[in-house]
Amino acid sequence: MLFTSIPFALFFLIVFILHWIVFNGKPSWQNAVLLISSYIFYGLFGWKFALLLFLISSVNYSLALLIQRSEIKTTRKLFLLTGLILNVGTLVIFKYYNFFIETFSDVISWVGLQPNLLTLNLVLPVGISFYLFLSLSYILDVYQKKLVAVSKAADVMLALSFFPIILAGPIHRPAGLLPQIQKNRSFSFLLATDGLKQILWGLFMKALIADSCAGYVNTIFANTSTYPGSTLAIGIMLFTVQIYADFAGYSNLAIGISKLLGFSIMQNFAYPYYARDIREFWKRWNISLTTWFRDYVFLPIAYSTSRKLKSDNFLWMKSETVIYLVGITITWMLTGLWHGANFTFIIWGVIHGFFLFLYHIGMKPRKKLMSKLGISLNNKIFVFFETCFTLIIVMVSWVFFRADSTSAAFDYLSKIASRSFFAVPRLTQLTGFYTTMAFVLFFFIVEWFGKKDEYGLARLGSRWPKVLRLTMYYAIIVVVFWFSGEQQQFIYFQF
């Protein structure tokens, strides 16, 4: 049941009425409605998935209480370790077991052996990576005493299954969601109105921009050998638009839906394609995941590495550089692997980790060079070229993210780098291409002028007469329903 479907609209209408009309002013009953609704919503993808979610949530709820109540440090560590094994182990079994087994089998076969290793025929539960990360952050925050374990099971279960964010985020951690669950919520017209506008913009991004681009992207990537490099370049540009509009569109829908229920969910995208460098890009793209890996992977690794280094230099490098290199390498390999059990995702992660490291070691030399040349770091021409360079890095990495295999990704890039890059693009088979490009242009113009706000449509037309403003909203609705592409599943559901 997709957010962009009629069945979901009917489902949400029922939840909204129960939450704000039938049980208004009764927070416990409101939370019960949301909890039951969350399990119904998730269970529609498979009742076994809902059962797994219930078991994982129940165990993490219990472990958090045990950690909270334990006064002996070793006992607390034992309960935490149990939770880590449970959550990470579940993710590995469902998502990575076959990948690791097949990779090991390939390595062994290189030396002449023919292993007969068992693989599992498991269906990957939708959104498992997201709710397991929520569970991990809950027990880790309780262990680190950043959060007090909640005794009311229903509240914790809701924080780990809240239906707007369970399938593809944002990964709004229980530490930020539980206080909102526990307090008395009252309907806010301003918050609801803002939520409706954000839903409208998310619908425009997903149904019109992302789904329209998806058809062209699928055609081009499925026929790489038949298209010249110029068309393949257009294909990756379209995927660059598609994945952003798809995932940021989902985030806007999730956040807007949450606002209608009285919840404030963290911003997950902040106009990343306008970032001037790779570090800024990752401060703007999938913010909830980036900060999760920063807090629970990069910083612990950096801290652990710093404790082991006893001198200011190691292997002809400053210790701080070594610490960053170790942390960024492991973090981004894991970030790539988190996205999928395929070497294409690992390479994608390594590319971003590599350029983040280059940016880190080049910050000071860059400032000195610009100072000597008498060029301000905020020079508009300089910023423009930096932004373009960053976007090129991102687009090249997206080839690995989208391709089915590493060889397919390299073939795709090699053809773009060939003479056929200068050939006339073949667009005759891409029906409606120019109409879609007009909407894409409109989309990025709105995002440009709204880049200081939470989402592009937030303040657009806020000073216009009410009639004109409403006309614009209705026009967007009509355009979405009239020109939207064939409905596609959200890309990040697979993760």
The verdict on residue 32 lying in a domain is: yes
- Per-residue pLDDT, 428: 67
The verdict on residue 36 lying in a domain is: yes
Q: Could you write out the DSSP letters of every residue in 184-252? A: PP---HHHHHHHHHHHHHHHIIIIIIIHHHHHHHHHHHHTGGGS-HHHHHHHHHHHHHHHHHHHHHHHH
32 CB-contact burial (10 Å; exposed 0-12 / middle 13-18 / buried 19+): middle
- Per-residue pLDDT, 491: 83
Q: Could you write out the DSSP letters of every residue in 15-34? A: HHHIIIIISTT-HHHHHHHH
Final residue before a domain boundary, out of 165, 185, 205: 185
- Per-residue pLDDT, 399: 97
* Maximal CA-CA distance, the chain: 76
| 277 in the same domain as 155 | no
- Per-residue pLDDT, 113: 66
| 410 in the same domain as 376 | yes
| 120 in the same domain as 221 | no
pTM of the model: 0.93
- Per-residue pLDDT, 379: 86
The closest of 495, 476, 494, 485 to 206, measured between CA atoms, is: 485
Question: What is the rounded distance in angstroms from the CA atom of residue 189 to the CA atom of residue 332?
Answer: 42
The closest of 10, 6, 7, 487 to 249, measured between CA atoms, is: 487
| Tokens 């807007």 -> residue | 256
Positive or negative, the CA dihedral 216, 217, 219, 220 is positive
Phi, psi values for residue 453, rounded to 5°: -105, 175
| 423 in the same domain as 287 | yes
Number of domains the chain contains: 2
| 218 in the same domain as 313 | yes
Strand partners, 317: 314
The verdict on residue 163 lying in a domain is: yes
**Residue 359 · residue 279 · CB < 8 Å:** yes
For 219, other C-beta atoms within 10 Å of its C-beta total 16
| 212 in the same domain as 112 | no
315 CB-contact burial (10 Å; exposed 0-12 / middle 13-18 / buried 19+): exposed
Quick one: the chain helix, strand, coil %, rounded to 5? 70, 0, 25
| 20 in the same domain as 39 | yes
The amino acid that residue 479 corresponds to is V
Final residue before a domain boundary, out of 153, 185, 217: 185
Question: What is the rounded distance in angstroms from the CA atom of residue 465 to the CA atom of residue 306?
Answer: 59
Long-range contacts of 104-110 (CB under 8 A, 24+ apart): none
**Tokens (6 digits) for 441:** 């242009």
Residue 422 DSSP symbol: G
Mean pLDDT by 10 residues, the chain (495 residues): 89 97 94 97 93 97 96 94 96 88 75 69 88 96 95 96 93 96 94 96 95 92 92 96 96 97 96 96 96 96 86 76 93 94 94 95 87 85 94 97 95 94 82 88 94 93 90 93 82 77
The CA radius of gyration of the chain, in Å to the nearest whole number, is 24
- Per-residue pLDDT, 92: 92
**Residue 93 · residue 52 · CB < 8 Å:** no
Question: What is the rounded distance in angstroms from the CA atom of residue 432 to the CA atom of residue 423?
Answer: 21
| 155 in the same domain as 266 | no
Phi, psi values for residue 313, rounded to 5°: -130, 150
| 210 in the same domain as 181 | no
| 214 in the same domain as 179 | no
The verdict on residue 25 lying in a domain is: yes
| 450 in the same domain as 432 | yes
For 157, other C-beta atoms within 10 Å of its C-beta total 21
Question: What is the rounded distance in angstroms from the CA atom of residue 65 to the CA atom of residue 143?
Answer: 10
Question: What is the rounded distance in angstroms from the CA atom of residue 99 to the CA atom of residue 12?
Answer: 37
The verdict on residue 1 lying in a domain is: no
The number of CA neighbours under 13 Å toward the Cβ of 246 is 22
The verdict on residue 273 lying in a domain is: yes
The verdict on residue 412 lying in a domain is: yes
Final residue before a domain boundary, out of 168, 185, 202: 185
Which structural domain range is residue 199 located in? 191-494
Positive or negative, the CA dihedral 477, 480, 486, 487 is negative
What angle in degrees, to the nearest 10, is found between the helix axes of 27-43 and 47-69? 130
CA angle 316/320/325 to nearest 5° reads: 80
Strand partners, 313: 318
The verdict on residue 439 lying in a domain is: yes
| 158 in the same domain as 294 | no
Q: Which residues contact 242 (CB under 8 A, 6 or more apart)?
A: 209, 210, 213, 214, 217, 491
